[in-house]
Protein backbone atom coordinates (compact mmCIF):
# COMPACT_ATOMS: atom_id res chain seq x y z
CA UNK A 1 0.00 0.00 0.00
CA UNK A 2 1.11 3.50 -0.61
CA UNK A 3 2.82 5.22 2.25
CA UNK A 4 -0.20 7.39 2.94
CA UNK A 5 -2.32 4.63 4.35
CA UNK A 6 -0.32 4.84 7.53
CA UNK A 7 -1.84 8.28 7.95
CA UNK A 8 -5.37 7.06 7.80
CA UNK A 9 -6.15 6.84 11.44
CA UNK A 10 -8.13 9.03 13.67
CA UNK A 11 -5.26 11.02 15.08
CA UNK A 12 -3.48 11.94 11.89
CA UNK A 13 -5.91 13.47 9.47
CA UNK A 14 -5.19 17.04 10.53
CA UNK A 15 -3.19 17.67 7.34
CA UNK A 16 -5.95 16.15 5.22
CA UNK A 17 -7.00 19.70 4.47
CA UNK A 18 -6.73 22.40 1.85
CA UNK A 19 -3.57 24.43 2.18
CA UNK A 20 -5.55 27.66 2.43
CA UNK A 21 -7.17 26.55 5.68
CA UNK A 22 -3.69 26.65 7.21
CA UNK A 23 -2.64 29.95 5.63
CA UNK A 24 -5.89 31.62 6.71
CA UNK A 25 -5.43 30.27 10.22
CA UNK A 26 -1.84 31.53 10.27
CA UNK A 27 -3.13 34.97 9.27
CA UNK A 28 -5.81 34.86 11.97
CA UNK A 29 -3.12 33.90 14.44
CA UNK A 30 -0.81 36.74 13.39
CA UNK A 31 -3.71 39.14 13.65
CA UNK A 32 -4.54 37.77 17.09
CA UNK A 33 -8.02 36.78 16.03
CA UNK A 34 -9.21 34.21 18.53
CA UNK A 35 -12.84 35.32 18.68
CA UNK A 36 -15.60 32.77 18.22
CA UNK A 37 -17.27 32.49 14.85
CA UNK A 38 -20.11 30.32 13.58
CA UNK A 39 -20.04 28.29 10.37
CA UNK A 40 -22.92 26.44 8.70
CA UNK A 41 -22.35 23.25 6.74
CA UNK A 42 -25.17 22.89 4.23
CA UNK A 43 -25.95 21.86 0.66
CA UNK A 44 -26.65 24.70 -1.70
CA UNK A 45 -29.03 22.98 -4.08
CA UNK A 46 -30.63 19.71 -5.06
CA UNK A 47 -28.95 17.92 -7.98
CA UNK A 48 -31.21 17.11 -10.90
CA UNK A 49 -33.68 14.32 -10.08
CA UNK A 50 -33.06 14.58 -6.34
CA UNK A 51 -35.88 15.89 -4.19
CA UNK A 52 -34.37 15.40 -0.72
CA UNK A 53 -31.10 14.52 0.95
CA UNK A 54 -30.60 11.69 3.41
CA UNK A 55 -28.02 13.05 5.82
CA UNK A 56 -25.12 10.71 6.69
CA UNK A 57 -21.57 11.08 7.96
CA UNK A 58 -22.11 12.71 11.35
CA UNK A 59 -20.43 9.95 13.35
CA UNK A 60 -17.18 10.32 11.43
CA UNK A 61 -17.36 14.12 11.54
CA UNK A 62 -17.70 14.11 15.33
CA UNK A 63 -14.93 11.57 15.77
CA UNK A 64 -12.68 13.74 13.64
CA UNK A 65 -13.45 16.82 15.73
CA UNK A 66 -12.71 14.93 18.95
CA UNK A 67 -9.39 13.65 17.70
CA UNK A 68 -7.79 16.30 15.51
CA UNK A 69 -4.26 17.24 16.58
CA UNK A 70 -0.86 17.83 15.02
CA UNK A 71 2.16 15.57 15.32
CA UNK A 72 5.77 16.76 15.36
CA UNK A 73 6.33 15.22 11.93
CA UNK A 74 3.43 17.22 10.55
CA UNK A 75 4.63 20.43 12.21
CA UNK A 76 8.06 19.83 10.76
CA UNK A 77 6.53 19.57 7.28
CA UNK A 78 4.61 22.80 7.85
CA UNK A 79 7.78 24.53 9.02
CA UNK A 80 9.42 23.59 5.72
CA UNK A 81 6.42 25.11 3.97
CA UNK A 82 7.29 28.44 5.59
CA UNK A 83 4.89 28.61 8.53
CA UNK A 84 6.23 30.61 11.46
CA UNK A 85 7.25 29.22 14.85
CA UNK A 86 4.52 31.06 16.77
CA UNK A 87 1.75 29.54 14.70
CA UNK A 88 3.36 26.11 14.83
CA UNK A 89 3.44 26.35 18.62
CA UNK A 90 -0.23 27.20 18.53
CA UNK A 91 -0.89 24.12 16.35
CA UNK A 92 1.17 21.95 18.69
CA UNK A 93 -1.48 22.49 21.35
CA UNK A 94 -4.39 22.60 18.95
CA UNK A 95 -7.61 20.83 19.91
CA UNK A 96 -11.12 21.45 18.71
CA UNK A 97 -13.00 22.87 21.71
CA UNK A 98 -16.05 24.27 19.98
CA UNK A 99 -19.79 23.75 20.09
CA UNK A 100 -21.55 21.69 17.40
CA UNK A 101 -25.22 21.48 16.53
CA UNK A 102 -26.30 18.93 13.96
CA UNK A 103 -29.28 17.10 12.53
CA UNK A 104 -29.13 13.38 13.43
CA UNK A 105 -27.67 10.93 10.91
CA UNK A 106 -30.52 9.50 8.86
CA UNK A 107 -32.48 12.78 8.75
CA UNK A 108 -34.26 13.75 5.55
CA UNK A 109 -32.98 17.25 4.76
CA UNK A 110 -33.20 19.95 2.12
CA UNK A 111 -31.06 22.64 0.46
CA UNK A 112 -29.81 25.59 2.51
CA UNK A 113 -30.70 23.94 5.81
CA UNK A 114 -27.69 23.85 8.14
CA UNK A 115 -26.77 20.19 8.69
CA UNK A 116 -23.93 21.07 11.05
CA UNK A 117 -23.50 24.39 12.82
CA UNK A 118 -20.13 24.97 14.42
CA UNK A 119 -19.26 27.74 16.86
CA UNK A 120 -15.63 27.96 17.93
CA UNK A 121 -12.67 30.35 17.95
CA UNK A 122 -12.37 31.13 14.27
CA UNK A 123 -9.10 29.21 13.77
CA UNK A 124 -10.64 26.03 15.18
CA UNK A 125 -13.82 26.43 13.18
CA UNK A 126 -11.94 27.19 9.96
CA UNK A 127 -9.32 24.47 10.17
CA UNK A 128 -11.83 21.62 10.18
CA UNK A 129 -13.69 22.76 7.04
CA UNK A 130 -12.12 20.54 4.38
CA UNK A 131 -12.41 17.25 6.23
CA UNK A 132 -16.00 17.90 7.31
CA UNK A 133 -17.04 18.72 3.74
CA UNK A 134 -15.21 15.68 2.35
CA UNK A 135 -16.82 13.38 4.89
CA UNK A 136 -20.40 14.68 4.72
CA UNK A 137 -20.35 15.07 0.92
CA UNK A 138 -19.61 11.42 0.20
CA UNK A 139 -21.80 9.87 2.85
CA UNK A 140 -24.84 12.07 2.30
CA UNK A 141 -24.51 11.74 -1.46
CA UNK A 142 -24.51 7.93 -1.24
CA UNK A 143 -27.23 7.68 1.40
CA UNK A 144 -29.39 9.91 -0.80
CA UNK A 145 -28.71 7.92 -3.96
CA UNK A 146 -29.20 4.57 -2.23
CA UNK A 147 -32.44 5.76 -0.67
CA UNK A 148 -33.74 6.45 -4.18
CA UNK A 149 -32.68 2.99 -5.34
CA UNK A 150 -34.34 1.33 -2.33
CA UNK A 151 -37.55 3.31 -2.96
CA UNK A 152 -37.53 2.31 -6.62
CA UNK A 153 -37.24 -1.38 -5.66
CA UNK A 154 -40.62 -1.17 -3.86
CA UNK A 155 -39.76 -3.48 -1.02
CA UNK A 156 -37.58 -5.90 -2.98
CA UNK A 157 -34.11 -6.39 -1.46
CA UNK A 158 -31.30 -4.20 -2.75
CA UNK A 159 -27.74 -5.36 -2.13
CA UNK A 160 -24.83 -2.91 -2.53
CA UNK A 161 -22.48 -4.52 -5.04
CA UNK A 162 -20.26 -1.63 -6.18
CA UNK A 163 -16.99 -2.14 -4.31
CA UNK A 164 -14.82 -2.74 -7.37
CA UNK A 165 -15.61 0.60 -8.94
CA UNK A 166 -16.18 2.73 -5.89
CA UNK A 167 -13.59 5.49 -5.72
CA UNK A 168 -10.98 4.07 -3.38
CA UNK A 169 -10.80 2.26 -0.08
CA UNK A 170 -12.47 4.85 2.12
CA UNK A 171 -15.34 5.21 -0.37
CA UNK A 172 -15.74 1.43 -0.47
CA UNK A 173 -16.31 1.43 3.28
CA UNK A 174 -18.46 4.54 3.43
CA UNK A 175 -20.66 3.47 0.52
CA UNK A 176 -21.42 0.18 2.29
CA UNK A 177 -22.29 2.02 5.50
CA UNK A 178 -24.28 4.85 3.88
CA UNK A 179 -26.30 2.60 1.60
CA UNK A 180 -27.10 0.34 4.55
CA UNK A 181 -28.38 3.39 6.44
CA UNK A 182 -30.54 4.15 3.41
CA UNK A 183 -32.18 0.74 3.52
CA UNK A 184 -30.01 -1.58 1.44
CA UNK A 185 -30.22 -5.12 2.80
CA UNK A 186 -26.45 -5.65 2.76
CA UNK A 187 -23.21 -5.30 0.86
CA UNK A 188 -20.68 -7.40 -1.03
CA UNK A 189 -17.86 -5.70 0.93
CA UNK A 190 -16.55 -8.25 3.44
CA UNK A 191 -14.50 -5.70 5.39
CA UNK A 192 -17.60 -3.53 5.82
CA UNK A 193 -19.36 -6.64 7.04
CA UNK A 194 -16.69 -7.24 9.64
CA UNK A 195 -16.22 -3.62 10.74
CA UNK A 196 -19.83 -2.42 10.69
CA UNK A 197 -21.73 -5.66 11.17
CA UNK A 198 -23.53 -5.20 7.86
CA UNK A 199 -24.84 -8.46 6.30
CA UNK A 200 -22.64 -9.56 3.38
CA UNK A 201 -23.86 -11.20 0.21
CA UNK A 202 -22.40 -12.61 -2.96
CA UNK A 203 -22.94 -15.17 -5.64
CA UNK A 204 -20.17 -16.09 -8.09
CA UNK A 205 -18.34 -14.47 -11.00
CA UNK A 206 -18.28 -15.41 -14.65
CA UNK A 207 -14.66 -16.45 -14.18
CA UNK A 208 -15.74 -19.23 -11.84
CA UNK A 209 -18.07 -20.64 -14.47
CA UNK A 210 -15.45 -20.25 -17.18
CA UNK A 211 -12.80 -22.09 -15.19
CA UNK A 212 -14.74 -25.36 -15.53
CA UNK A 213 -15.06 -27.34 -18.75
CA UNK A 214 -18.85 -26.97 -18.71
CA UNK A 215 -21.19 -24.49 -17.03
CA UNK A 216 -23.08 -27.25 -15.25
CA UNK A 217 -19.80 -28.60 -13.81
CA UNK A 218 -19.17 -25.18 -12.31
CA UNK A 219 -22.66 -25.10 -10.77
CA UNK A 220 -22.13 -28.53 -9.21
CA UNK A 221 -18.65 -27.63 -7.95
CA UNK A 222 -19.95 -24.52 -6.21
CA UNK A 223 -22.97 -26.31 -4.73
CA UNK A 224 -20.66 -28.94 -3.29
CA UNK A 225 -19.19 -26.26 -1.02
CA UNK A 226 -22.26 -24.05 -0.62
CA UNK A 227 -25.33 -26.25 -1.06
CA UNK A 228 -27.77 -24.04 0.85
CA UNK A 229 -29.58 -21.06 -0.62
CA UNK A 230 -26.96 -20.55 -3.30
CA UNK A 231 -27.60 -18.18 -6.20
CA UNK A 232 -26.17 -19.43 -9.50
CA UNK A 233 -24.90 -17.00 -12.12
CA UNK A 234 -26.48 -18.21 -15.35
CA UNK A 235 -25.53 -15.77 -18.11
CA UNK A 236 -21.87 -16.57 -18.74
CA UNK A 237 -22.67 -18.12 -22.12
CA UNK A 238 -26.44 -17.83 -22.60
CA UNK A 239 -28.99 -16.95 -19.93
CA UNK A 240 -31.75 -19.28 -21.16
CA UNK A 241 -29.46 -22.28 -21.57
CA UNK A 242 -28.04 -21.35 -18.16
CA UNK A 243 -31.49 -21.34 -16.60
CA UNK A 244 -32.16 -24.80 -17.92
CA UNK A 245 -28.93 -26.10 -16.40
CA UNK A 246 -29.79 -24.35 -13.13
CA UNK A 247 -33.12 -26.18 -13.18
CA UNK A 248 -31.29 -29.49 -13.60
CA UNK A 249 -29.04 -28.92 -10.59
CA UNK A 250 -31.96 -27.48 -8.57
CA UNK A 251 -33.77 -30.78 -9.00
CA UNK A 252 -30.62 -32.72 -8.09
CA UNK A 253 -30.53 -30.68 -4.88
CA UNK A 254 -34.26 -31.09 -4.27
CA UNK A 255 -33.81 -34.86 -4.16
CA UNK A 256 -31.50 -34.29 -1.16
CA UNK A 257 -34.04 -31.94 0.42
CA UNK A 258 -31.99 -28.81 -0.38
CA UNK A 259 -33.41 -25.69 -1.99
CA UNK A 260 -31.52 -23.76 -4.63
CA UNK A 261 -31.65 -20.11 -3.59
CA UNK A 262 -31.84 -18.38 -6.92
CA UNK A 263 -30.34 -17.55 -10.26
CA UNK A 264 -28.56 -14.32 -11.18
CA UNK A 265 -28.66 -12.56 -14.53
CA UNK A 266 -26.15 -9.80 -15.19
CA UNK A 267 -26.51 -8.87 -18.87
CA UNK A 268 -28.92 -8.57 -21.77
CA UNK A 269 -32.55 -7.43 -21.69
CA UNK A 270 -33.48 -8.11 -18.08
CA UNK A 271 -37.23 -7.86 -18.71
CA UNK A 272 -37.34 -10.45 -21.44
CA UNK A 273 -34.68 -12.57 -19.79
CA UNK A 274 -36.32 -12.60 -16.35
CA UNK A 275 -39.69 -13.56 -17.87
CA UNK A 276 -38.28 -16.47 -19.81
CA UNK A 277 -36.24 -17.67 -16.85
CA UNK A 278 -39.19 -17.41 -14.48
CA UNK A 279 -41.15 -19.43 -17.02
CA UNK A 280 -38.50 -22.16 -17.21
CA UNK A 281 -38.25 -22.38 -13.43
CA UNK A 282 -42.01 -22.40 -12.86
CA UNK A 283 -42.60 -25.04 -15.53
CA UNK A 284 -40.20 -27.30 -13.68
CA UNK A 285 -41.87 -26.75 -10.33
CA UNK A 286 -39.12 -24.46 -9.08
CA UNK A 287 -41.34 -21.56 -8.00
CA UNK A 288 -39.18 -21.14 -4.88
CA UNK A 289 -36.02 -20.32 -6.89
CA UNK A 290 -35.64 -16.53 -6.91
CA UNK A 291 -34.51 -14.37 -9.81
CA UNK A 292 -31.75 -11.96 -8.81
CA UNK A 293 -30.76 -9.22 -11.28
CA UNK A 294 -27.60 -7.14 -11.50
CA UNK A 295 -25.65 -5.28 -14.17
CA UNK A 296 -25.70 -1.53 -14.63
CA UNK A 297 -28.70 -0.99 -12.36
CA UNK A 298 -29.83 2.20 -10.68
CA UNK A 299 -33.16 3.74 -9.60
CA UNK A 300 -34.09 4.63 -13.19
CA UNK A 301 -33.45 1.15 -14.54
CA UNK A 302 -35.17 -0.59 -11.63
CA UNK A 303 -38.24 1.64 -12.07
CA UNK A 304 -38.33 0.70 -15.74
CA UNK A 305 -37.99 -3.02 -14.96
CA UNK A 306 -40.78 -2.97 -12.39
CA UNK A 307 -43.01 -0.78 -14.59
CA UNK A 308 -42.72 -3.58 -17.15
CA UNK A 309 -43.50 -6.17 -14.44
CA UNK A 310 -40.17 -7.97 -14.81
CA UNK A 311 -40.40 -10.95 -12.39
CA UNK A 312 -37.27 -10.02 -10.43
CA UNK A 313 -37.11 -10.71 -6.70
CA UNK A 314 -34.05 -8.73 -5.69
CA UNK A 315 -31.39 -6.47 -7.08
CA UNK A 316 -27.61 -6.22 -6.85
CA UNK A 317 -26.80 -2.58 -7.46
CA UNK A 318 -23.20 -1.60 -8.04
CA UNK A 319 -21.30 1.11 -9.82
CA UNK A 320 -24.07 3.59 -10.48
CA UNK A 321 -25.18 3.66 -6.87
CA UNK A 322 -21.68 3.37 -5.39
CA UNK A 323 -20.44 6.36 -7.37
CA UNK A 324 -23.77 8.26 -7.47
CA UNK A 325 -23.02 8.18 -11.17
CA UNK A 326 -25.58 10.70 -12.39
CA UNK A 327 -24.25 13.25 -9.88
CA UNK A 328 -21.03 12.21 -8.14
CA UNK A 329 -20.88 15.16 -5.74
CA UNK A 330 -23.14 17.43 -3.74
CA UNK A 331 -22.93 21.21 -3.57
CA UNK A 332 -21.98 20.92 0.05
CA UNK A 333 -20.47 24.09 1.51
CA UNK A 334 -19.25 25.47 4.80
CA UNK A 335 -19.90 29.14 5.28
CA UNK A 336 -19.21 31.73 7.93
CA UNK A 337 -22.50 33.11 9.20
CA UNK A 338 -21.56 34.97 12.37
CA UNK A 339 -18.53 36.57 14.03
CA UNK A 340 -18.05 37.97 17.50
CA UNK A 341 -17.03 41.60 17.85
CA UNK A 342 -14.49 43.08 20.24
CA UNK A 343 -17.38 44.16 22.52
CA UNK A 344 -18.57 40.50 22.63
CA UNK A 345 -21.67 41.23 20.54
CA UNK A 346 -22.29 39.03 17.50
CA UNK A 347 -22.45 40.17 13.89
CA UNK A 348 -24.35 38.12 11.36
CA UNK A 349 -22.35 37.60 8.17
CA UNK A 350 -23.38 36.80 4.63
CA UNK A 351 -21.71 36.20 1.29
CA UNK A 352 -22.97 38.07 -1.73
CA UNK A 353 -21.13 36.57 -4.72
CA UNK A 354 -23.09 36.23 -7.93
CA UNK A 355 -25.61 33.37 -7.50
CA UNK A 356 -23.83 32.25 -4.36
CA UNK A 357 -25.53 34.14 -1.51
CA UNK A 358 -25.57 32.59 1.95
CA UNK A 359 -27.91 32.97 4.93
CA UNK A 360 -26.57 35.13 7.77
CA UNK A 361 -26.65 34.53 11.51
CA UNK A 362 -26.85 31.53 13.80
CA UNK A 363 -29.84 29.54 12.59
CA UNK A 364 -32.25 26.72 13.46
CA UNK A 365 -34.48 24.63 11.21
CA UNK A 366 -38.05 23.75 12.23
CA UNK A 367 -40.11 21.00 10.65
CA UNK A 368 -43.92 21.10 10.44
CA UNK A 369 -46.14 18.07 9.88
CA UNK A 370 -49.40 17.30 8.14
CA UNK A 371 -52.29 15.87 10.17
CA UNK A 372 -51.23 12.34 9.19
CA UNK A 373 -47.78 12.91 10.68
CA UNK A 374 -45.97 13.27 7.36
CA UNK A 375 -43.61 16.20 6.71
CA UNK A 376 -45.36 19.36 5.53
CA UNK A 377 -42.70 22.05 5.33
CA UNK A 378 -39.51 23.33 6.97
CA UNK A 379 -38.77 26.85 8.13
CA UNK A 380 -35.24 28.18 8.57
CA UNK A 381 -35.16 30.73 11.40
CA UNK A 382 -32.63 32.57 13.48
CA UNK A 383 -31.50 30.36 16.35
CA UNK A 384 -33.19 32.39 19.04
CA UNK A 385 -36.57 32.73 17.33
CA UNK A 386 -39.42 30.74 18.86
CA UNK A 387 -41.32 28.39 16.55
CA UNK A 388 -44.02 25.74 16.85
CA UNK A 389 -42.28 23.21 14.62
CA UNK A 390 -39.84 20.51 15.68
CA UNK A 391 -36.30 21.84 16.01
CA UNK A 392 -34.07 19.81 13.69
CA UNK A 393 -30.61 20.91 14.88
CA UNK A 394 -29.58 19.32 18.16
CA UNK A 395 -26.55 20.27 20.25
CA UNK A 396 -24.19 17.30 19.91
CA UNK A 397 -20.88 18.70 21.12
CA UNK A 398 -19.93 21.23 23.78
CA UNK A 399 -16.37 22.47 24.39
CA UNK A 400 -15.17 19.76 22.02
CA UNK A 401 -16.86 16.94 23.98
CA UNK A 402 -19.77 14.80 22.86
CA UNK A 403 -23.01 15.58 24.68
CA UNK A 404 -24.08 11.92 24.62
CA UNK A 405 -23.12 8.64 23.03
CA UNK A 406 -23.79 8.24 19.34
CA UNK A 407 -26.52 5.98 17.98
CA UNK A 408 -25.62 2.55 16.60
CA UNK A 409 -25.69 1.88 12.87
CA UNK A 410 -28.92 -0.09 13.29
CA UNK A 411 -30.48 2.82 15.18
CA UNK A 412 -29.43 5.25 12.45
CA UNK A 413 -30.85 2.91 9.80
CA UNK A 414 -34.12 2.69 11.69
CA UNK A 415 -34.26 6.46 12.11
CA UNK A 416 -33.64 6.91 8.37
CA UNK A 417 -36.41 4.45 7.49
CA UNK A 418 -38.82 6.35 9.73
CA UNK A 419 -37.77 9.69 8.22
CA UNK A 420 -38.21 8.47 4.67
CA UNK A 421 -41.58 6.92 5.52
CA UNK A 422 -42.71 10.31 6.85
CA UNK A 423 -41.73 12.12 3.68
CA UNK A 424 -44.90 12.24 1.54
CA UNK A 425 -44.83 9.88 -1.43
CA UNK A 426 -44.93 12.67 -4.02
CA UNK A 427 -41.41 13.74 -2.99
CA UNK A 428 -40.07 10.23 -3.54
CA UNK A 429 -40.77 9.73 -7.23
CA UNK A 430 -37.64 8.93 -9.21
CA UNK A 431 -38.09 11.91 -11.55
CA UNK A 432 -40.16 15.09 -11.55
CA UNK A 433 -40.81 15.22 -7.82
CA UNK A 434 -42.17 18.59 -6.66
CA UNK A 435 -40.06 20.90 -4.50
CA UNK A 436 -40.52 20.37 -0.76
CA UNK A 437 -41.28 23.76 0.81
CA UNK A 438 -38.43 25.30 2.80
CA UNK A 439 -39.24 28.81 3.98
CA UNK A 440 -37.22 31.51 5.66
CA UNK A 441 -38.73 33.13 8.76
CA UNK A 442 -39.72 36.77 8.42
CA UNK A 443 -36.96 37.78 10.82
CA UNK A 444 -34.34 35.98 8.72
CA UNK A 445 -35.69 37.49 5.50
CA UNK A 446 -35.48 40.94 7.05
CA UNK A 447 -31.91 40.36 8.20
CA UNK A 448 -30.89 39.28 4.68
CA UNK A 449 -32.35 42.47 3.26
CA UNK A 450 -30.63 44.73 5.78
CA UNK A 451 -27.25 43.04 5.33
CA UNK A 452 -27.40 43.22 1.53
CA UNK A 453 -27.94 46.95 1.86
CA UNK A 454 -25.10 47.32 4.39
CA UNK A 455 -22.62 45.34 2.29
CA UNK A 456 -23.47 47.33 -0.82
CA UNK A 457 -22.76 50.58 1.04
CA UNK A 458 -19.62 49.38 2.80
CA UNK A 459 -18.00 47.82 -0.27
CA UNK A 460 -19.11 50.59 -2.67
CA UNK A 461 -21.05 48.27 -4.98
Q: Choose which of 36, 104, 106, 172 interacts with a copy of itself (CB under 8 A).
A: 172
Question: Smallest gap, in angstroms, from Cβ of residue 229 to a copy of itself?
Answer: 11
Alpha carbon of residue 18 to chain centroid:
22
Residue 371 lies near a copy of itself (rule: CB under 8 A): no
Applying the rule CB under 8 A, the residues between 130 and 159 that interact with a copy of itself are 130, 133-135, 137-138, 141
In the region spanning residues 31 to 50, those forming contacts with a copy of itself, defined by CB under 8 A, are 31, 33, 37, 39
Alpha carbons within 13 angstroms on the beta-carbon side of residue 55 total 26
Judged by CB under 8 A, how many residues of this single chain contact a copy of itself?
125
Query: Of the two residues 15 and 438, which places its CB atom closer to a copy of itself in the complex?
Result: 15
Report the alpha-carbon distance of residue 151 to residue 8 in Å, rounded.
Answer: 34
Q: How far apart are CA 197 and CA 87, in angstroms?
A: 42
What part of residues 178-197 is at the interface with a copy of itself (CB under 8 A)? Answer: 188-196
- Binding a copy of itself (rule: CB under 8 A), the pick from 154, 344, 345, 354 is 354
Stretch that binds a copy of itself, among 205-213, 251-259, 284-292, 423-431 (CB under 8 A): 205-213
Nearer to a copy of itself, 60 or 113 (CB): 60
N-terminal to C-terminal alpha carbon distance within the chain: 53
Q: Which helix (H) or strand (E) holds 337?
A: strand 332-340
- Is 8 a residue that touches a copy of itself (CB under 8 A)? yes
Site for a copy of itself contains 351 (CB under 8 A): yes
The closest of 98, 65, 62, 110 to 392, measured between CA atoms, is 110
**Integer Rg of the chain from CA:** 26
Q: Which stretch binds a copy of itself (CB under 8 A): 98-106, 111-119, 247-255, 327-335?
A: 327-335
Contact set for a copy of itself, span 218-237 (CB under 8 A): 221-222, 224-226, 235-237
Cα–Cα distance measured from residue 15 to residue 205, given in angstroms and rounded to the nearest whole number: 40
Could you give the CA distance from residue 251 to residue 14 in angstroms, rounded to a whole number? 59
User: 303 vs 358, which CB is nearer to a copy of itself?
Assistant: 358
- Per DSSP, 46 falls in state P
Q: Which residue lies nearer to a copy of itself by CB, 225 or 405?
A: 225
- Helix (H, G, I), strand (E, B), or coil: what is residue 194? helix
Q: State whether residue 332 is helix, strand or coil.
A: strand
Amino acid sequence: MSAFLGYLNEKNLSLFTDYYELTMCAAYFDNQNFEPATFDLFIRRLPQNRSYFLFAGLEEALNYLQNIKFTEEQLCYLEKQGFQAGFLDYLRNFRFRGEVWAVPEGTVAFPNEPLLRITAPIIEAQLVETFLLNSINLQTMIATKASRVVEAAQGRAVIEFGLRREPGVDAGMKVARSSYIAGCRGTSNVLAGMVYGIPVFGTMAHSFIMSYPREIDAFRAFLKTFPNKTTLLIDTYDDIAGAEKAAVVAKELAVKGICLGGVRIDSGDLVESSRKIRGILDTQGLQYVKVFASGDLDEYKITELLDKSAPIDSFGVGTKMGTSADRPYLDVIYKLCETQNADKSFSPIMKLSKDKNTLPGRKQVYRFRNDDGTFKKDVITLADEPSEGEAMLVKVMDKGKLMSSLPSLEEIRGFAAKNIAQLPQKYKTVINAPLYPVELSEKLQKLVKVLKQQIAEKEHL
